[in-house]
Each structure stands twice: as C-alpha cells, then as structure tokens.
Amino acid sequence: MVMTIEALLSLVVLAGALALLPITENAHKPTYGKLYEYQVLEDVMEIAAKKPELMHNGGLSEVATGLGACVLLNGTASPEGCGCAGKETVSTTRIIPSGGAFERITAALCMG
Amino acid sequence: MSSITGSQCRKKGQVFAADALVAALIALFILYIGFSEVASMSVRAAEAEANAASEGRVIAFADYLMKEGLVHKGRSDFGNVSYSHVLEMARLEGAQREGFDAEIGGACAPQQGRVCVCRPAIIFESREVGFLEVCGK
C-alpha cells in the first residue's frame, strides 16, 4: 500500500486525538453538594420535629438565613420572600405529632 | 494535464517535500496544543477529585458528629437512647479528630482554602438552635 507522508501524518494526529478523548471525559466529577443539601434539609426537619414552635414563630427563618438557604415548608418560604423557582431543590416529607394528632409536612430546600 | 505530487517536488537529498514539512509542523503544533490542554485538564481533574474527597470526608465526619459523636445520650424505658441533632457542647473536646476542626456556635463563617460544612442542630445546654461547623483540609 502506498501512502504519502501527509496522509500518514494526518492519521497519526487523528489517532492521537482519539486516544486523548477518554482522559478529558474524566475532567468533571460530581461532588457531594446535593448530598449536603439533603442532609441540611433533614436537619431542618429534625429540628422542626423536636421544636415545632419554630415553624410558627419564625425560628426556621433564622436557621435558613444562617445556612444561606431557602426552605419551603408546606409551601411557605423561610426566610420570607425567598424562592426556589428555577433552582434545583431537594425535598422530603415527614409526619410529626402535633396536638394529639399527626401532621404531614412537606419541605423543600435550595441553596443560594 | 499533468499533476505534481509531493515526492516529485523534492530536490535530490531532500527527505521531506515542502508541503509535507508544513503539514508536519502544523501537526506538531496541534499535538503540542492538545497535550498542553490535556495536561491542564488532568491537573484540574486531580484538584477537583482531591477537593471532592476532602469534601466527602468533612461531610461524613459532620454527619457522624450530628448522629453519634456529639449527641446527647440518655436512658429511657427502652434502654440507652441517642438523641440525634441534639448536641452537647461538653462532648466537643473529645470529638476532635486530626485534620478536622469542629465548632458549635451561632453562625458559620466560610474559611479561606478549607472545606467547611454547616449543620443546624439543637444545643442541649441552651435548648436553642445553633450550628455545627466542621472544617477540613
């Protein structure tokens, strides 16, 4: 088979470029940000379960502000006016005792 | 109509034709750029991986402190009980580990060059809501 040097060089460069592709694919690895957000939401729910008055006296707003997060508890935002529209959220649901009965609480959290 | 190939353009004693030389130079330049970029990406990937590993360790240690290391423990009719998310400041001294700094306070301040996580909790001594901050390298 006859091949010019130019064609051979082109093939070498192409082979080199293809060989480097698998290395570049590993450049972006996922981090634990989403896990951390979920843990923080679980913390908020645990605190709300242990001190239910925080859900009504604005105590959760202080917690959310301290974390730089927006917490939506049954659709009510803490701190007031924040929102998670257009942001990725984590969410959870708890059933907690409340005044001799049980209350279902749905919560969502987004950072920033 | 006759065509001229690279080999026909060579002078006697010349290994490369002029166009082959240009192609070779361009190919070498492309390879240099490619290798530089890949080397740079490899360094960035290694740094990101190291940060992710550090972040994972700090998150795991903070989770351990929240659920076992710092929690208030008591007795009940069912035996010994660990009250998760209720932290005793008195246990903080014994819970410190090499490479980590754990603090319980009213706020979390980000620290330059360190991976820090902030977890809300109830402070056992004051019964108030506070924050556990765990930082690591």
B1: in domain = no
Cβ neighbours of B6 in A, within 8 Å: 4-6
Tally C-beta pairs within 8 A across A and B.
98
- The pLDDT of residue B1 is 47
Note whether ipTM > 0.85 here.
no
pTM of this prediction? 0.72
- In DSSP terms, which residues pair with A106 in a beta bridge? A93
- pLDDT tens by residue, A84-107: 888 989 999 998 887 788 889 899
Chain B nearest CA to A110, separation (Å): 15
Q: How many domains does chain B have?
A: 1
Q: Which domain holds residue B62?
A: 6-136
Residues of B in contact with A39 (CB under 8 A): 59, 63, 119
Q: Which residue of B has its CA nearest to A59?
A: B129
What is d(CA B135, CA B97) in angstroms, rounded to the nearest whole number?
A: 11
- Cβ neighbours of B20 (radius 10 Å): 20
The string of DSSP letters for B35-75 reads HHHHHHHHHHHHHHHHHHHHHHHHHHHHHHIIIIISEEEEE
